[in-house]
Amino acid sequence: MTSPMTPPVTPPVTPRLDPVAPAPSRVPAALRRADPAVATAFGCIVALLLLGSLYSTSFLSPDYLLQQLQVGSFLALVATGLMVVVLLGQIDLSVPWIVTVGGMMSTAAAGHGAVGTALAIPFGVLCGIGFGLVNGFGVAYLRVPSMIFTLGVDAVAQGLMVLKTGGSAPQDMATPLMRDLATGRALGPVPNAVWVWVAVGAATLFLLGRTTFGRAVYAIGNREGAAYLSGVRTRRVTLVAFAISGGLSALAGALLAGYSGKAYQGMGDGYLLPAIAAVVLGGTSILGGRGSYLGTTAGVILITLLQSILSVVQMPDAGRQVIYGTVILAMLLLYGRGNKVGG
Amino acid sequence: MTPPLLSLSGIAKRYGATRALDGVDLALHPGRIHAVLGENGAGKSSLIKCMAGVVQPDAGTMTLDGTPVRFADPAAANAAGIVCVFQELSLIPDLSVADNILAADPPRRFGLIDRREQRHRAEELLARAGAEDIHPLALVRDLPLSRRQLVEIAKALGRRPRLLILDEATSALTARDVASVFRVLKDLRRQGLALVFISHRMGEIAELADDCSVFRNGRNVATFPAGTRSDGEVVEMMIGRDYSHAYPAKPPPVPEATPPALAVRDLGWGDRLHGLSFAVRPGEVVGLGGLDGQGQRELLLALFGVLRGTSGEVRVDGRPVALASPADAKAARNGIALIPEDRKTEGLMLPMSVRENLSFASLGRVSRGGVIDRGAERRAVDEMVQLLAIKAADLDVPVASLSGGNQQKVVLAKWLMTRPRIVLLADPTRGIDVGTKAEIYRLLRRLADEGAAVLLYSTDYAELIGCCDRVLVLYGGRIVRELAGDAITERALVASALNMNGAEAA
């Protein structure tokens, strides 16, 4: 995607329609395209760390930072899936209970002998993909607004999980592999969970940047009608995007079960708002069509640090909620509106 | 004759480089119906917009009752007694007839809507509009289209007009409903209203109008009492435009025996398309003519797999095909491309880069297993940019930053990259400069010479004459005439577009 710098002698094309033409400048293309939101998010991360280091020098220690990344990796998985859906101009509000589905179904599979234990994580993820497909079907084919449909699916998932734990007492202990992935450090000092994040992040970068699917996601988010008239199967793309979101939420749930040793109801409750916040803070337009994975990564780190610092200074939960909400609204006001060209 | 209620003198209006109105003089008298005729783009709608306060003229004066007036917005024009009934119905379907009629200024008591008074007033107005049989509490949604048009007129009467403008108010109506609307209009004329009536149906104008004005190229070329000119003379006045565009030379006609690339038989869709049958052979440029909105758009969308529930048969290269989506139409076995009408909302993803827009429809050609080969993509894009001479500072800038002509070239290039064998175009030169237009004409001819079948819908008759080997003229969703070769003249196009020779359709 690198392009030769515009030589200053070239007469610029007269911007006749919309004043969105970037003025020819001497800044390299890569920097020129840097999203101000992403830069702001990284700036905020540095500011938070410096602020924290005034409180305690341990905020800058590698141990603390790696631990934050480990905690943040669960949020990162959820936010990654959510970002793909948000890029389409949709939203997935079924995150909390699909995280729980992922945790509870993978631990339940582990109760079925050695095969069950081996397939615990794939089974949990598969269940998440299943719920994601239902979401995608409702939004793409039945044309129900995603905000309503995914909320309904969230409630259904909740009911099913309560039903399941109410009747019998299924296995709820995490498998050794789940624990190991969530808490272990197999390769040097970096926690395994961070490696999972890196792997999923690399796959997402590739998916969004280098595949026809990724191009279609951005196109649909920008102008679904034009994408459809370009002969792209827009409904199928939407379906797959929701499936990805469901699968990644469930994977986060499985790892989270490994982190806390067991799966439990409501384990995904704290993930919806932070995930939306991370995606929005990272500069992804809530209207779809614009956003980079780098930004979402920055958003996840920022939210995780914010959570950590708020808990270190012993901010009560209610206060944290107020701060999240305020931060999301502030970012929406700054970046979320009015930037759509020709909208 | 009484002094005019509203008179216009020297009214001019420009949109960018386009001169929509150019020194228009017009006088509208109370108690008379004034018909305005003209081709697509002759300036009729701009004229109405100026009178109704939707836009402000750049020059000239409007005089109401002898005093100069200037309307800042439609409300000001309304207050002065100038009211429009538009072709697109402005009613809210889920509200009652009474609510709709008095939507702008409902009668109030203590700040709340006085329902009884509202119903009473609605009944009065409906009676004046000749629609006593419509219950004021019925929902507009439950009324047939023709009844809604009467409600629309009642609504306009509720604003106490002195000058009532009807913009193709009868185009959606059947002959029987037209008759009842006409009774109402004649009634209003008797009550001393001035009426401006815009219609493409010559028969209606002959029956209704007292005066006629013919517009061409933003000018009022003639005003005369109705019935003093023959239909032929009127058409003569509507055409006679100067040809300023360079069109490429046409090759000799493709032999009749050539098997068609696209064959359509008895295509229908709801009440918009009826029994369309035609064929387009490789190497041909076939035009779709007629007035705006006679089913040309729907026909192109149907051929591109966008419309659900079409009837009839479409054959590509002799093979019957089922086109369920644009993806089907685009598939290599069909090779159909549609250059859509609105490039900003249908053709392009404006915030995305020129490069991404160009390759978007043909990503399948430059990718393997869903992974884009960026080298191949760049080569294909660069080739197209050169071929069409697209002017962009950088292929990574948003396509929105290009000029209108270059944006349109991007849309064309995007589809040429799919190597289509059947090219459908919906008014591809609307709103772009003359130079780019000429480039597009040459490109279309070259596509045809290379063996593509081209189906071109244009609202510009000159373009159809200059570009097309054959022209199908549509009226009311049917093909009413086919013109070929030298028979494609502006006169023949206008006459058949107004359906003067054929039977009145629907």
**pLDDT averaged over chain B?**
87
Residue B366 is given by DSSP the state: G
Q: How many beta carbons lie within 10 A of that of residue A32, not counting itself?
A: 16
Each residue of B347-376: pLDDT tens digit? 999 999 999 999 999 999 999 999 999 999
Q: How many beta carbons lie within 10 A of that of residue A173, not counting itself?
A: 14
Each residue of A16-64: pLDDT tens digit? 333 333 444 444 444 555 677 788 888 888 988 888 888 888 888 899 9
* Secondary structure in 3-state letters for B227-244: CCCCHHHHHHHHCCCCCC
* B292/B337 same-domain check: yes
Question: Which residues 12-71 of chain B have a CB within 8 Å of chain A?
Answer: none
Mutate which of A206, A229, A238, A292 to disrupt the B interface (most B C-beta within 10 Å)? A229
Statement: residue B40 has pLDDT above 70: no
Domain assignment present for B249: no
Average pLDDT over residues B314-328: 94
Statement: residue B505 has pLDDT above 50: no
**Cβ–Cβ below 8 Å for A17 and B347:** no
**Cβ–Cβ below 8 Å for A231 and B348:** no
* B92/B195 same-domain check: yes
Pairing status of strand B470-475 against strand B194-198: unpaired
For residue A3, give the nearest of B395, B407, B418 by CB distance.
B395
pLDDT of residue A23: 41
Stronger pLDDT, B343 or B239, i.e. the higher one: B343
pLDDT of residue B174: 67
Percentage of chain B lying above the pLDDT 90 cut: 44
| Rounded Cα distance, B488 and B469, in Å | 9
Stronger pLDDT, A341 or B362, i.e. the higher one: B362
Helices and strands, number each (H, E), in chain B = 16, 24
Stronger pLDDT, A90 or A186, i.e. the higher one: A90
pLDDT of residue A34: 62
Question: Which residues 342-371 of chain B have a CB within 8 Å of chain A?
Answer: 344-352, 356, 360-361, 363-364, 367, 370-371
Instruction: For residue A216, give the chain B residue with the closest CA.
Output: B360
Chain B residues whose beta carbon lies within 8 Å of the beta carbon of residue A15: 401
Pairing status of strand B112-113 against strand B108-109: antiparallel
**Cβ–Cβ below 8 Å for B396 and A228:** no
**Cβ–Cβ below 8 Å for A13 and B326:** no
Domain assignment present for B385: yes
Q: Which pLDDT band holds residue A11 (cuts at 50, 70, 90)?
A: very low
* B284/B328 same-domain check: yes
Chain A residues whose beta carbon lies within 8 Å of the beta carbon of residue B325: 228, 231, 233
How many domains are contained in chain B?
2
Statement: residue A4 has pLDDT above 80: no
> What range defines the domain where residue B493 resides?
262-497
Rounded to a whole number of angstroms, the distance between the first and last alpha carbons of chain A is: 26
Q: What is the separation of C-alpha B22 from the centre of its chain, rounded to a whole number of angstroms?
A: 21
B403–chain A Cβ distance below 8 A for any pair? yes
Each residue of B51-65: pLDDT tens digit? 988 889 999 999 998
Statement: residue B305 has pLDDT above 50: yes
Q: CATH number for the domain including B169?
A: 3.40.50.300
Mutate which of B15, B334, B349 to disrupt the A interface (most A C-beta within 10 Å)? B349
**Cβ–Cβ below 8 Å for B349 and A227:** yes
pLDDT of residue B283: 93
| Rounded Cα distance, A181 and A69, in Å | 14
* B41/B173 same-domain check: yes
* B40/B130 same-domain check: yes
Chain A residues whose beta carbon lies within 8 Å of the beta carbon of residue B398: 20-21, 341
pLDDT of residue A1: 38
Mutate which of A205, A215, A230, A236 to disrupt the B interface (most B C-beta within 10 Å)? A230
Instruction: For residue B357, give the chain A residue with the closest CA.
Output: A219
Domain assignment present for B253: no
Average pLDDT over residues A183-191: 89
* B266/B171 same-domain check: no
Phi and psi angles of residue B338, each rounded to the nearest 5 degrees, phi first: -125, 120
Each residue of A138-174: pLDDT tens digit? 999 999 999 999 999 999 999 999 888 775 656 778 8
* B310/B446 same-domain check: yes
Phi and psi angles of residue B100, each rounded to the nearest 5 degrees, phi first: -70, -45
A48 Cβ contact partners less than 8 Å away, ≥ 6 residues apart: A302, A305, A306, A309
| Rounded Cα distance, B160 and A132, in Å | 57
- Inter-chain contacts counted by CB atoms under 8 A, chains A and B: 127
| Rounded Cα distance, B144 and B163, in Å | 27
Distances B223 to A197, A334, B25, B213, B240 between C-alpha atoms, Å: 76, 57, 10, 4, 17
Average pLDDT over residues B148-174: 84
Average pLDDT over residues A106-117: 89
Question: What's the maximum distance between 2 C-alpha atoms anywhere in chain B?
Answer: 78
Statement: residue A191 has pLDDT above 50: yes
* B29/B176 same-domain check: yes
B325–chain A Cβ distance below 8 A for any pair? yes
**Min Cα separation A14/chain B (Å):** 7
Domain assignment present for B227: yes
Chain B residues whose beta carbon lies within 8 Å of the beta carbon of residue A6: 393-394
Each residue of B248-298: pLDDT tens digit? 888 888 888 899 999 999 999 998 999 999 999 999 999 999 888 889 999
Chain B residues whose beta carbon lies within 8 Å of the beta carbon of residue A290: 351
**Cβ–Cβ below 8 Å for B340 and A24:** no
Each residue of A293-326: pLDDT tens digit? 999 999 999 999 988 888 888 888 888 888 878 8
Supply A271's token pair: 């993930």
Statement: residue B240 has pLDDT above 70: no
ipTM for the whole complex: 0.82
Instruction: For residue B406, give the chain A residue with the closest CA.
Output: A13
For residue A218, give the nearest of B345, B352, B407 by CB distance.
B352
A232–chain B Cβ distance below 8 A for any pair? yes
**Min Cα separation B327/chain A (Å):** 4
A217–chain B Cβ distance below 8 A for any pair? no
DSSP codes of every residue in B93-109: TTSBHHHHHTSSS--EE
* B363/B477 same-domain check: yes
Min mean pLDDT across B72-86, B194-208, B401-415 is at B194-208
Q: Which pLDDT band holds residue A340 (cuts at 50, 70, 90)?
A: very low
Statement: residue B241 has pLDDT above 60: no
For residue B401, give the nearest of A20, A211, A229 by CB distance.
A20
Statement: residue B461 has pLDDT above 90: no
| Rounded Cα distance, B14 and B20, in Å | 5
Supply B406's token pair: 């270059």
Domain assignment present for B48: yes
Domain assignment present for B172: yes
Q: Which pLDDT band holds residue B239 (cuts at 50, 70, 90)?
A: confident
* B209/B278 same-domain check: no
Each residue of A238-249: pLDDT tens digit? 999 999 999 999
**Cβ–Cβ below 8 Å for A219 and B397:** no
Statement: residue A9 has pLDDT above 50: no
A212–chain B Cβ distance below 8 A for any pair? yes
Chain A residues whose beta carbon lies within 8 Å of the beta carbon of residue B329: 231
Domain assignment present for B306: yes
* B18/B124 same-domain check: yes
Helices and strands, number each (H, E), in chain A = 15, 0
**Min Cα separation B432/chain A (Å):** 12
pLDDT of residue A198: 96
* B336/B442 same-domain check: yes
Domain assignment present for B1: no
